[in-house]
């Protein structure tokens, strides 16, 4: 269907010529785009402010000679940029002005855009208003895709059943949608049932279908089934098995403890890598780290340096995470220094990789020392950096240090860091400890900061009440405040209040 073709083209980065061939409109816009048509294309694409309508620009071209392929390029490229409202405006303008015949593929694309902009009910209305001749496999398929995307299981299955009853020529794309519906709800047995039905009906699976089938066998820990499907996929002359499929299979063998087999598939994955594929190298490096294979990690890292030239923070995070998995913090710190000297865009998610590693291995003081040194160098951590170390101290039951870290984290939660939330494990442990051991004033200070980060809850009130009860203070105002926040007293509240009586 049109929408799925758009998404596939986006992933594969198909060019304009391929787009014309897929949609059968090459003759409408072959060769170089004329200057005036390029002006139309560029003038619309440049209207990228949210909420901007492209209709005024389109109206300027009413009555002028416009190559239809250019207009469809505009729809496609706006959609790839997730500017769905504008793409829909162009599509509707093409249809309403009658500048060309609207094909079932064009209707399928428009239906999908309507669903993205106005919701699936509007897409249904659009579909229902089509003539019987216009209700083709493309438009039926587009509506099915909308149902699946919204997770509407009953409507998806009912619509799919109707498509079969009508005898529509179902393709791998149609079956992929139903498999995706089940995959998204973790019903992997159902995915495999649809897979079997598709093959029984003589429909050849595509790469996406094979991938979902292999994933389903993986989720069921059926390594034999997975390998059988992979072997079948490899036998298809027109099928290209990508590195990501092989790494997925390798990972399943690692989990099953079949390290020798995992190495076979990792080598196959590497054969599929292009020199500049940083993401592929990162996947392989991570899997070799899980296997504890330092030499292969370094070999691939050096190959990546030769092929990719420029590294981004995601590349350093991958390699740092791999050294951390191996417990080799000396190498991790060396690489971290390399990143620090090469970057102008300091991102604390990079050092956080090492902080997490230290804390997981109980080396929380090392994590604190590293973070403190970065602060002394003039770096401003993100709240999560202090939150990571706070959790490390909580796990070691060093609550005073955890409190210091948490207070630092919460004071940093301003500007672009307002989305940060502390770990529930940390806040629960901190409130329990504060209520049991600290002065009421200290508890009030902490809760005051915490209220700016997460909604007020029962645990905050219990910490405050317990601290005040221990100091012989009245808690009536706290109880009234708790009630006004619609937090009812429970058994734990009553037990805390009984401490006052005893």
Residues 394-437: pLDDT tens digits? 999 999 999 999 999 999 887 677 889 999 999 999 999 999 99
The two structure tokens encoding residue 14: 């198909």
pLDDT band for position 77 (cuts 50, 70, 90) = very high
pLDDT of residue 102: 84
Number of neighbours of residue 470 by Cβ within 10 angstroms: 17
The two structure tokens encoding residue 82: 């997730």
Nearest to 431 by CA among 404, 405, 412, 450: 450
Phi then psi for residue 442, to 5 deg, are -65, -40
Q: What are the tens digits of pLDDT across the range 108-145?
A: 999 999 999 999 999 999 999 999 999 999 999 999 99
* Residue entry with tokens 């995307």: 149
Angstrom distance (rounded) from CA 189 to CA 191: 5
Angstrom distance (rounded) from CA 113 to CA 107: 10
DSSP letters for 297-312: HHHHHHHHHHHH-S--
Average pLDDT over all residues of the chain: 88
SS3 488: coil
Residues of the chain above pLDDT 90, percent = 76
Q: For residue 289, what are the contacts with CB-CB under 8 A and spacing of at least 6?
A: 297, 321, 322, 323, 325, 326
pLDDT band for position 15 (cuts 50, 70, 90) = very low
Nearest to 156 by CA among 123, 122, 181: 181
Q: For residue 379, what are the contacts with CB-CB under 8 A and spacing of at least 6?
A: 346, 348
How is residue 409 annotated by DSSP?
H
**Cβ-contact 405, 387 below 8 angstroms:** yes
If one compares 63 and 292, the residue with the highest pLDDT of the two is 292
Angstrom distance (rounded) from CA 405 to CA 269: 43
Mean pLDDT of all residues in 11-18: 31
pLDDT of residue 36: 53
SS3 472: coil
* Residue entry with tokens 């009658």: 98
The radius of gyration computed from the CA coordinates of the chain, to the nearest angstrom, equals 29
pLDDT band for position 101 (cuts 50, 70, 90) = confident
**Cβ-contact 387, 406 below 8 angstroms:** yes
Angstrom distance (rounded) from CA 428 to CA 178: 42
pLDDT of residue 50: 83
Number of neighbours of residue 142 by Cβ within 10 angstroms: 28
**Cβ-contact 318, 285 below 8 angstroms:** yes
The yes-or-no verdict on residue 352 having pLDDT over 60 is yes
Angstrom distance (rounded) from CA 243 to CA 265: 9
Angstrom distance (rounded) from CA 479 to CA 475: 6
If one compares 41 and 478, the residue with the highest pLDDT of the two is 478
How is residue 130 annotated by DSSP?
S
Angstrom distance (rounded) from CA 500 to CA 352: 44
The pTM (predicted TM-score) of the whole model is: 0.76
pLDDT band for position 63 (cuts 50, 70, 90) = low
The yes-or-no verdict on residue 158 having pLDDT over 50 is yes
**Cβ-contact 128, 139 below 8 angstroms:** no
The yes-or-no verdict on residue 200 having pLDDT over 90 is yes
Of 63-72, 188-197, 200-209, the least confident: 63-72
Number of neighbours of residue 158 by Cβ within 10 angstroms: 12
SS3 458: helix
């Amino acid at each position: 269907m049109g929408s799925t073709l758009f998404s596939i083209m986006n992933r594969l980065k198909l060019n304009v010529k391929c787009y014309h061939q897929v949609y059968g409109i090459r003759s409408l816009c072959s060769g170089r785009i004329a200057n005036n048509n390029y002006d139309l294309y560029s003038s619309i694409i440049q209207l990228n402010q949210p909420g901007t309508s492209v209709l005024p620009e389109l109206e300027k071209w009413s009555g002028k000679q416009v190559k239809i392929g250019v207009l469809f390029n505009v729809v496609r490229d706006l959609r790839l940029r997730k500017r769905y409202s504008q793409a829909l405006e162009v599509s509707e303008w093409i249809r309403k002005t009658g500048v060309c015949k609207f094909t079932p593929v064009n209707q399928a694309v428009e239906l999908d855009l309507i669903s993205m902009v106005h919701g699936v009910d509007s897409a249904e209305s659009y579909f229902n208003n089509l003539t019987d001749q216009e209700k083709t496999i493309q438009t039926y398929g587009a509506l099915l895709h909308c149902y699946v995307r919204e997770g509407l299981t009953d409507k998806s299955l009912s619509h799919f059943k109707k498509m079969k009853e009508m005898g529509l020529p179902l393709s791998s794309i149609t079956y992929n949608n139903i498999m995706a519906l089940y995959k998204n709800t973790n019903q992997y047995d159902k995915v495999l049932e649809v897979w079997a039905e598709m093959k029984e009906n003589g429909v050849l699976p595509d790469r996406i279908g094979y991938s979902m089938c292999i994933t389903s066998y993986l989720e069921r820990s059926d390594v034999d089934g997975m390998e059988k499907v992979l072997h079948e996929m490899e036998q298809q002359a027109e099928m290209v098995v990508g590195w990501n499929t092989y790494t997925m299979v390798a990972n399943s063998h690692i989990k099953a403890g079949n390290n020798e087999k995992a190495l076979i598939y990792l080598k196959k994955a590497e054969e599929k890598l292009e020199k500049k594929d940083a993401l592929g190298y990162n996947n392989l490096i991570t899997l070799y780290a899980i296997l504890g294979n330092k030499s292969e990690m370094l070999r691939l890292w050096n190959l990546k340096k030769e092929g990719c030239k420029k590294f981004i923070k995601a590349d350093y995070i991958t390699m740092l995470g791999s050294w951390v998995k191996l417990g080799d913090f000396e190498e991790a710190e060396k690489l971290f220094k390399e990143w620090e000297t090469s970057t102008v865009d300091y991102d604390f998610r990079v050092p956080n990789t090492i902080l997490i590693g230290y804390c997981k291995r109980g080396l929380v003081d090392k994590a604190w020392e590293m973070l403190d040194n970065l602060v002394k160098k003039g770096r401003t951590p993100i709240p999560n950096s202090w939150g990571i170390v706070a959790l490390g101290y909580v796990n070691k039951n060093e609550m005073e240090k955890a409190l210091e870290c948490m207070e630092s984290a919460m004071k940093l939660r301003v500007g672009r860091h307002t989305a940060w939330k502390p770990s529930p494990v940390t806040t629960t442990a901190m409130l329990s400890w504060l209520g049991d051991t600290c002065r009421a004033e200290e508890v009030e200070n902490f809760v005051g900061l915490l209220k700016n980060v997460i909604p007020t809850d029962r645990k905050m009130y219990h910490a405050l009440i317990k601290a005040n009860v221990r100091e012989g203070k009245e808690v009536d105002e706290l109880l009234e405040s708790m009630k006004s926040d619609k937090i009812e007293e429970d058994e734990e509240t009553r037990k805390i209040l009984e401490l006052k009586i005893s």
